[in-house]
Amino acid sequence: MDLGHLIPRSFKGKLRTAVRGEGVYIYDEDGNAYMDGCSGALLSSIGHGVKEIADAIYQQLLTMEFAHPSRWNNKVSVEAAEEITSLAQEGLDYVWLVSGGSEAIESAMKMARQYFVERDGDGSGKYMMIARWNSYHGSTVGTMGLAGSMGRRRTFAPLFIEGPKIQAHYCYRCPHNLKYPECDVACARALEGEILRIGPASVAAFFAEPVVGSTVGALHPPKEYWPIIREICSKYDVLLVADEIMTGVGRTGKAFCTQHWNVTPDIICSAKALAGGYSPVGAMIVRKEIAETIRDGSGAFQHGHTYNGNPVTAAAVTATIRYMKKNNVFENAAAMGARFEEKIPALNEIPIVGEVRGMGMMRGVEIVADRKTKAPFPASVKAASLVTDECMKRGLVVYPGTGQIAGVAGDQFLFAPPLTTTKEEMDTMTGRLEEALKASAEALKGKG
Ligand SMILES: Cc1ncc(COP(=O)(O)O)c(C=O)c1O
């Protein structure tokens, strides 16, 4: 397709043109059907072409498409906030609505800083935000200083303020050279060391993805990780911000992933699946005490976008969450995640499969050249891209990634179908996945 004046994601990539979506399928311009094995980028959680969401958006467009948030309130965003808080842990009572994930994270950075200034006065020294290497929190200049996906940061590093980072819980290649459980989850305990090194009086927040998404490929933590992190944050008066932009809204089988470990963050950032892909959306869900400190202090969060609490987005959010509740979508995600697990032993037989990981319907496969040494393929082989092509040939879309080893090496991909996927569709997708991995193993022979 001639892209004319458009700047695409890549001028060199040869992408097919999508023309229609229905259920778990996306159709190209030649009428070929592809199973959406990654829900776009983990957002098309209720599948494509759901009429009742489109109807809700259309009705809102007819009623009122926009009223600027600095001049007007609107009932639809109040309703959306109520639906969102109904999914979150107790105490996470306030919602700030934006247009995307990066905006939600930027909002949390500013909320954390403003909270401490309002609570402790202008002299508050708490401003530093700690995050982790091998994480992704967005593509804006603010969020890139926070997060550590090297490939995406390198060019822009001179533009942003580099935040302090600890290593993620990459057990398959433990950055501390330890083994779970003897390690005593040293990667989580490292947060305490980092806070002490900086000085707790300067640290405002810690940001992390409950299951690391695109940078490492569904890297799930040991079960002790988040409770330890919560304890450390509370001990040092540091806000815990869970980036649930990929993991949230049922992806791992619970509304928010941190609920698996009974952890309540101070702030949850959500986006993507909150509106199922039917509208751009982001949300920051904030603990009562934080929002009310601002409410009872200056009275205004010093942040704002034209599309805060946009009525059309809000209508999409409410309709999506209600659809999820009505159709037991989270329960289906847990059941289909368990069904995927039955397939793991077969996938593990394939010579290039280093590790299959993740939770619920957020799964990742790390591809290696040598399973004993865990050596990756040379970057020039483009192994993740080859596997993706083999999947596409079989009508399955997956989400590839590279660079999880020190930012320069390693291949992986995410497999994360819509949460509404049926048993039969799941079996077809995992069957195609297995075939594609076997074909890739053949094609990659001798290239390690
Ligand atoms: C974990 C995580 N955080 C933040 C973002 C940024 O969201 P957006 O692309 O909507 O700005 C993403 C996007 O993929 C993400 O996966």
User: Is residue 4 in some structural domain?
Assistant: no
For a pocket test of ligand 1, which of 9, 102, 107 has the largest count of ligand atoms closer than 8 A to its C-beta? Answer: 102
- Residues 260-287 have a mean pLDDT of 98
Residues 144-161 have a mean pLDDT of: 87
**184 is a domain residue:** yes
Does residue 135 line the site of ligand 1, with CB under 6 A?
Answer: no
> Is the Cα torsion angle 252, 257, 403, 160 positive or negative in sign?
positive
Measured from the Cα of 209, ligand 1's closest atom is 1
Both 43 and 82 in a single domain? no
Ligand 1 centroid to residue 59 C-alpha, Å: 28
Clarify whether residues 28 and 139 are in a common domain: no
- Are 37 and 75 part of one and the same domain? no
Give the pLDDT band (50/70/90) at residue 405: very high
Final residue belonging to a domain, choices 326, 344, 363:
326
The pLDDT of residue 96 is 98
Is residue 95 within 8 Å of residue 84, measured between CB atoms? yes
CATH (domain of 230)? 3.40.640.10
Distance 19 CA to ligand 1 centre (A): 24
Residue 5 is assigned to a structural domain of this protein: no
Q: What is the pLDDT of residue 21?
A: 98
- The pLDDT value recorded for residue 149 is 73
In a domain? residue 239? yes
Instruction: Kindly give the number of the ligand 1 atom that is closest to the alpha carbon of 214.
Output: 16
Residue 238: domain span: 54-326
pLDDT given at position 15? 92
The answer on pLDDT for 168 being more than 80 is yes
Q: Is the CB of 209 under 6 A from ligand 1?
A: yes
Please check whether residues 152 and 180 belong to one and the same domain: yes
pLDDT, mean of residues 353-378:
98
Q: Ligand 1 in contact with 248 (CB < 6 A)? A: no
User: Which helix or strand (DSSP H or E) is residue 63 part of?
Assistant: helix 51-63
Domain count across the chain: 2
pLDDT value of position 406: 87
Interior angle at CA 66, CA 272 and CA 310, nearest 5: 25
**Per-residue pLDDT reduced to its tens digit, 340-359:** 999 999 999 999 999 999 99
Between residues 150 and 189, which one has the greater pLDDT? 189
Query: Within a domain: residue 164?
Result: yes
**pLDDT at residue 388 in the model:** 97
**pLDDT for res 366:** 98
Cα(80) to ligand 1 centroid in Å equals 20
Quote the ligand 1 centre to 442 CA distance (angstroms): 34
**For position 361, what pLDDT does the model report?**
98
Predicted pLDDT at 407? 86
| Residue-wise pLDDT tens digits, 52-73 | 999 999 999 999 999 999 999 9
Query: What's the pLDDT at 154?
Result: 86
**The pLDDT of residue 327:** 98
pLDDT confidence of residue 341: 98
Q: By CB neighbour count within 10 A (0-12 exposed, 13-18 middle, 19+ buried), where does 352 fall?
A: buried
- Verify whether ligand 1 is closer than 6 Å to residue 402 (CB atom): no
| Pocket test residue of 44, 45, 136 for ligand 1, highest count of atoms within 8 A of CB | 136
Q: Mean pLDDT over residues 196-207, rounded?
A: 98
Read off the pLDDT of residues 218-248 as tens digits, 9 standing for 90 and up. Answer: 999 999 999 999 999 999 999 999 999 999 9
What do you get for the CA distance between the two ends of the chain, in Å?
35
User: Given a cut of 90, is residue 189 above it in pLDDT?
Assistant: yes
Using the mean position of ligand 1's atoms as its centre, give its distance from the Cα of residue 401 in Å: 14
Q: Which of 268, 270, 272, 274 gets mutated to test ligand 1 (max ligand atoms within 8 A of its CB)? A: 272
Please report the atom of ligand 1 found closest to the CA of residue 102: 11
CA-to-CA distance for 160 and 281, rounded, in angstroms?
24
Distances (CA, A) of 251 to 180, 238, 287, 329: 25, 27, 22, 9
Per-residue pLDDT tens over the stretch 299-347: 999 999 999 999 999 999 999 999 999 999 999 999 999 999 999 999 9
* Whole-model pTM over 0.95: yes
Residue 30 has pLDDT above 90, yes or no: yes
Q: What is the pLDDT of residue 151?
A: 76
- Tell whether 136 and 278 lie within a shared domain: yes
